[in-house]
Amino acid sequence: MSLSPQLRDAAVRWIADDPDPRTRDELQRVLAAAMAGAAGAVEDLADRMSGMLRFGTAGLRGPVRAGPNGMNVAVVRRATAGLAAWLARGGQRGTVVVGRDARHGSAVFATATAQVLTGAGFTVRVLPGPSPTPVLAFAVRQLGAVAGVQITASHNPPADNGYKVYLSDGAQLAPPVDAEIEAAIAAAPPAISIPTADTATEVDVTDAYLDRVARLPRGASRDLRIALTPMHGVGGAAAVEALHRAGFPNVHVVGSQAAPDPDFPTVTFPNPEEPGAVDALIETAERVRADLAIALDPDADRCALAVPVADGWRTLTGDETGVLLGDHLLRSGGYADPLVATTVVSSSMLRSIAAAYGARYAETLTGFKWIVRGGPGLVYGYEEALGYCVDPDTVRDKDGIAAAVLAADLAATLKADGFGLPDRLDELAVAHGVHLTEGISLRMEPAARDAAAAELRSNPPPGWESELPAPDVLVLRRPGERLVIRPSGTEPKLKAYLEVVEPVADAAALDGAKAAARSRLDALRAEVRRLLGAR
C-alpha cells in the first residue's frame, strides 16, 4: 500500500491542529515511517486517519493513540466542544460533573474535558482521583447537574479508553441525542482552537453514595464471608466500604488484583464474563472458605457472582443473578405498583416473577439506556451481560457495587436458614419453570453479517413467530423457545440469544426438567448454527 497525497495531507493537518505535543510527535513518527516506506506504516496511518472515532449511545470508545480514530486529547476536546454546544442549544448551562477511571490517559482526558467545559461557560465539578462509574452517575443526580462525563473504557482491553456521557436525568444517552451530539462534534473547530479554562473545582460525593448503597439491604443476617476482586479496576475500595457499611465486614480482596492497574497484568481480558477472568477470585474464595465470591469489572458498573457447590465453585450467569436479585427485591416488598424491566435478549423468567408479586414488567431493547426508561415506577432492571440496576432512584444505570451489596444481603439471608443461592434458583425454577439461556457469536465480515441479518429479517425460518422490535433485531418465538438475532454494533459478529423454558410439575420433577431443558437447548443451539451457517 502506497502513501497517497490525500492521506499525507490529512495527517499533516491533524498534526498541526493537535494541542498535545505527545500525540503530535506520535503521529509525526507514524507519518515519517509511512513516507519512508516502512512495513505496515501506511496501513497504520490510514487506520488512524480513517475517520473520527464514532460517538454512539455510550459515547466514545477506542484505542489510546494519536489521530482522529483514537482516544487522545484532540479527540476529547472536540467531543467535549460538541457536547457543550448541544447542551447550550438546549438552554442547559448549569453544572457538569467529570469523573475518570485509572486507565492509560484517563487523568489527561478528564482534565481536557473539564477545561473545555469551563471554557464554554459551564460550572464543572471533578470527582477526586479514579472513581467507579456508578459514583459519577450518582453525582449527576445528587448535584442536579445538566450532564456528566466519565472517562472509562469499562471492561475493554488495556489499550482502550472511552468517554461516557450521562444526561441530566442520570441516564445514558438514547437516540436521537447521540446523533445530535455527534453532529455537533463534527461541526466543532480544530482542537487547538477550542477555548479552555482551568476553573473546575473538586467535589466528593463518595460518602453520600456509599451511605445510600448501605441502606439497600433488606434482611437482618450479616453472617457471610465474602471474596471480592475489582479486577485491577477502580471499584475495590468503594465496594469493600459499601459492604462494611451495610454490615458485612468479612471481605477478602484478591491481593494481586486489588490496586488499580491500567495494564491488567493478571487477566487476559478484564471482563468477568471471559474464560479464566475469575480464576484468582475463586482461588481466594477457596482459601478463605468464602460463602460468596464477587467480581467487579474495571469501572465497577458490572458484577459477577460465584458460589460454593458440592464439587467446587459455580459461577452464576447474568440471567441467574438477574432473576435472583429481582425476586429478592420484590419478595422484600415495600413498593407501590412496582415495575421491573429487562431486555429482549435476557431471561423471560423475570416476567413470571413479576406476575407472581403483582408487579408490572417491561421488556426493552438491549442496553441500560432503554432499561431505565422502561416506564414509571421502575424499581429494578437488569441485562444478561452482568448489569444490574437495583436502585434506579439513585443510579439510573447498572451499578456493580450496589448489586454486590444486595447479593450479599440475599446470600446472608439464605445462609441463616441453611440455604444458598443455588437453592433459591431451584425454588424459582419449580415456581416458574427451568429457564436456560445462551449466547452465540459468529464472527463475520460486516457486509456478510449485515446481509445475513437482513435476509433472516426478510425471510424468517418456518415454524417460528417473528417480530421486529427494532430495525436490526429479529425475535423468533415458538412454544417454550425464543431466539433473538442481531448484528453486533461494535464488532464484526452476528449474535444469537437462545432461551428454552421447561415446565416443572413439582420439586421432585426438577432434576428431570433440568435435563430436558439442557437437551432442548443443545438441539436449539445446533439448529441455530445450521440456520446461520447456511446463510
Q: What is the pLDDT of residue 535?
A: 47
Please tell me the predicted confidence (pLDDT) of residue 448.
Answer: 84
Helix 400-416 and helix 318-332, axial crossing angle in degrees, nearest 10: 70
d(CA 74, CA 20): 7
- Whether 361 contacts 424, CB under 8 Å: no
DSSP string over 386-416: TEEES-TTT-SS--HHHHHHHHHHHHHHHHH
* DSSP helix/strand/coil, 92: coil
Alpha-carbon distance 7 to 369, whole Å? 37
From the list 106, 131, 154, 168, the catalytic residue is: 154
The predicted pLDDT at position 50 comes to 94
In the 3-class helix/strand/coil scheme, how is 340-384 assigned residue by residue?
EEEECCCCCHHHHHHHHCCCEEEEECCCHHHHCCCCCCEEEEEEC
Per-block mean pLDDT, blocks of 10 residues, the chain (535 long): 94 98 98 96 97 83 97 98 96 94 98 98 97 98 98 95 96 92 96 97 98 92 98 98 98 98 96 95 98 98 97 97 98 94 97 98 95 97 97 97 98 98 98 96 85 87 93 94 86 90 98 98 94 68
Cβ–Cβ under 8 Å, residues 238 and 300: yes
* 346 given a catalytic annotation: no
Q: Are 151 and 100 in contact (CB under 8 A)?
A: yes
Which residues on adjacent β-strands are paired with residue 165?
A: 149
Q: Assess whether the previous peptide bond of 492 is cis (omega < 30° from 0).
A: no
Rounded CA separation 371/529 (Å): 29
Measured CA to CA, the distance from residue 136 to residue 224 in angstroms comes to 29
All three cell numbers of 141, joined, read: 443526580
pLDDT at 490: 62
Model pTM score:
0.96
Terminal-residue alpha carbon distance, the chain: 33
Nearest 10 degrees: CA dihedral of 448, 453, 458, 461?
A: 110
Of 161, 167, 132, the residue nearest 149 (C-alpha): 167
Measured CA distances, 403 to 20, 101, 217 (Å): 39, 19, 10
* Residue 462 buriedness (CB in 10 A; 0-12 / 13-18 / 19+): exposed
224 vs 514: CA distance, rounded Å: 29
Measured in whole angstroms, the distance separating CA 199 from the mean position of its chain's CA atoms is 31
DSSP state of 190: P
All cell numbers assigned to 527: 439448529
pLDDT at 307: 98
Q: Are 471 and 480 in contact (CB under 8 A)?
A: no
